[in-house]
Chain A
Amino acid sequence: MDDIHLIRKILQGDQPAFRTLVERYQDYVFTITFKVLKNREQAEEVAQDVFIKVYKMLGSFKQKSKFSTWLYTIAYRSALDQARKKKIRTDSIENENRFLQIEDRMGKSPAFNILQKDLNQHLQNALEQLKPIDATVMSLFYLKEKNVQEIGDITGLSISNIKTKLHRVREQLRIQLVSNLRTEAKDLI
């Protein structure tokens, strides 16, 4: 059943229909809040609040955009509001010193690191260090199958701004990951 039919049922008092909606989108909403807040408990709390808010505002959804776009916009803005309240800051990947600190946490010896960590692990660590906006744009870009227009609707950024961010962040990721993997490979020799 598509989102619009579910919404109509919910507005007629059908709560199980809302459960279907929650289960359909909970992963994506939680991903957005987690990318912004970087803390699972806080992200889950905010994500729950997002669904409560959406439930209350469902009658005012005008269908000018897709329901998912509307939902993710609320999730993103709620997470940003919470981040501002908690004064959460995340250094950008462009801050190389911060990135080096991740290396110190990863393991006892370079050999151990190479065995235990591969590109994906390095990538995960790097992604966790992104600014909330950069992290959200990256997640939405790859989870939403590269729909830049929709990302613009959710975040309020222009398409050119989004593309510039994507290019900048990915290029930085590429340079840093290549540098780190080379460093680890050298230590093994």
Chain B
Amino acid sequence: MAWLDAMREWLRALFLKAQEERELDEELRFHLERAEAEKVRRGMSRSEAARAARLEIGGVESVKERVRGERGTRWLEDLGKDLVFGLRTLRRSPAFAAAAILTLALGIGGNIAMFSIFDGVLLRPLPYPGADRLVLIWTTIADRGMDRSLSSPHDVDDWRAGNRTFDEITAFSTRSAKLSGGEQPEMIRLAQVVPGFFRTMGVPPVLGRGFLDAERDGDAGRVAVIGHALWQSRFGGAEDVLGRTLQLDDERVEIVGVAAPSFDFPGADVALWTPLPRPLAGISRSSYWTVPIGRLEPGASAEQAAADLGLIMRRLAADHPENRGLGVRLERLHEVAVGDARPTLRLLWITVAFVLLLACANVAHLLLARANGRQKEMVIRTSLGASRSRVLRQLLAESLALALLGGVLGVGLAAVAIELLPSLAADTLPRVGEVVIDGRALTFALAASLLTGLLFGALPAFRVTRASGPAVLKQGGQRSVADRSSRWQSLIVVGETAAALVLLVGAVLLLRSLGALLDVDPGFRPERLLSVRLSPVKKVQFSGDEEAYRAAYGPERERIRAFYRDLSERIGGLAGVSGVALVNQRPLAGSAWGVRVVVEGSEDLEPTELPTAASRVVEPGYFRTLGIPLEKGRTFTASDQAGDGGVAVISRATAEMLWPGEDAVGRTMSFRDGQWVRVVGVVGDVRDQSLESPAKATIYSPFAGATHGFHSNWTMDVLVRTEGDPMGSAEAIRALVAQADAELPIVEEATMSEEIHHSTARRRFTTGLLGAFGVVALALAIIGLYGVIAYSVARRVHELGIRLAVGASRQDIFALVIRRGLALVAAGLIGGLAAAWMLSRLIGSFLYRLQPTDPLSYASAAMLLGVVASLACIVPAHKATRLDPLRALRHE
């Protein structure tokens, strides 16, 4: 292992230099002594021997120098000395150093922050062991046009039993529950999981155990694994928590385990886990409400696993007709968690890279200007014997010193930005809490600083050492050399202007998209509209007797309906409330049930050929309260029924889809096997999913007689239109709910205007950041432009003085200076427009109702930049007209 010894030597040479020098000295002294002794032995006198030995060695210091050269640390030591020298030079020009370091810190810091964000959100594996083998399993329902549906627990159990490509499959479903027993009762979120969950995720409980298979049945299922945070907050982290009980809704559950700290799958608000009850044979298989997760066997690919499960599904379809047309779709957990953040982060990183380029350009300007003033120094150096490459290395070291200082400050800036990140972006980017500045980010910071230093330092360093010898040392000689470098400066400024324009175009495009989006009519009136989601806990339990179950189902539904009606009447009677509506799922609450619609004449079509629509169940008064306009026919009355022979109200999109160009009122359709309903009214479209997606075709059914559209526990959204601030009435509404049923938990309270605001969160985040960067880029480009023009005026003072002396007017001087500036701006604008047009594809997916080559956006960005840039040119031009010719002539 030669390299081990070699490494040891190298490190000794680097860190134990003093000792090495002492040893070398002693060694050579020893050699001298022995050489002397040998010569004395041969007959020389002492003094002769001493001189002869010394001659033989030929200069102790030169031998030492050659040994030092062989140590292999020379280049590093030289670099270190150059860096220190560079820092000293910088100290002598603090203004320049400060400007350069700040500019660099901005550019490098932004990239460090982006790297950390990219790393923490996208690159780093999820915090579960072997997370790259975790996949989510979606059920595809061709019938309903859904390719990402939740799954039926029956199917999950069949997959668990029959698969050959998974180590383990589990599933979860979240719900809210009331947690009491202890101090204050509170609403919490819990996850019901299939036993094997903790094993699948790879994070076993730190105390106790996970669930047993037997705990899926009946009373044995009254157990829970509590989250670490809950353990601390409710039990003070007591060791004896196992065996104690909690009150969940109306059940007492026993604690059998405590989860690991910071484990909170599937959501940051999950407080505890309970077992998912085994699906009973009598319950329909077509209830899709769990999310299965599987851990692939080592070596099994997702494709193989999908094929495996698909085979099981086809076999099931033979025995169970309701499984026909079902398939599976696998998606890596990592992709689901972070996949859709990728385009946004990529865009932001490109933007920050542009900003860094601009920062480098500005610092290069500063260095070029400074370099022109150091021509004399360089010529003297080379004439004293320094090789050109040595001088070059030293200048580059100066640039590196600047860049490293900028990098250090940049790390600080990035750290601040990351601190602020959660409060700005928690609801737009996943995993923001996991973003930190760690070793990787610091390594990136170092690399970025070094590269940046080389980037902006190379050109000035080369230009400085290009000195043409003695000519420079003459008076005024520096000027002629400087003129050549001004061409480089012009080029760089044009590049800067173009880059800034690209960013500005991007910012304007995003801004206009955001504006267009915020203008979209959601189809209802969201202002002062409060939504309260209620979830009556009492379920009709299936205890094995199917008939009894069916018999109890109908009356139970009526009881719940009466309860809701009564409650909504009482809420309607509150002061400050001007309307109440009930719906099984409010707008902007996520994806909805899809149904396939059959109309007369299309009964023979295959289910997959039928059109789909979203289905809602509402109480009368819904449309009026929400402000959804009625376009044809009528809305529901108290006596309307759903079900076969009943009625429905459809949205305009549905009418267009089913009976284009005809009157839909009076037509009949079916979206539930065998149940035909008559259309009595057409209402306006509602943007149900998000402002961006076009309104889906929707079918509304009255509550009375509806047999579909509910989960097993009758969840309804109560929408309340208030006259003042909606949250102001929330308290009173909560009181009414508690009065009606003390045990009834309120699952969610939201104001619709907030929900709409929230749905544009990511877009606003991206637009805001890009806009901010655009402004920074604009500022940097303007500073660069101003600097270059002002500098060129300063250099031409002598020449301008001559012109003034021979009769040029102030206007001529002004025109002379500003011509150059405007030419640079124009070139930059043209280059920028071209570059933006070529890069426009990248931003296409972020735009709403706007082409990435939208001319108005390009024009306005160009105009903005053009105006500001021209102003930047006017100032130095104006200053040039104020020159005193006499003083100018005397200027070197």
The answer to whether A and B come from one shared complex is: no
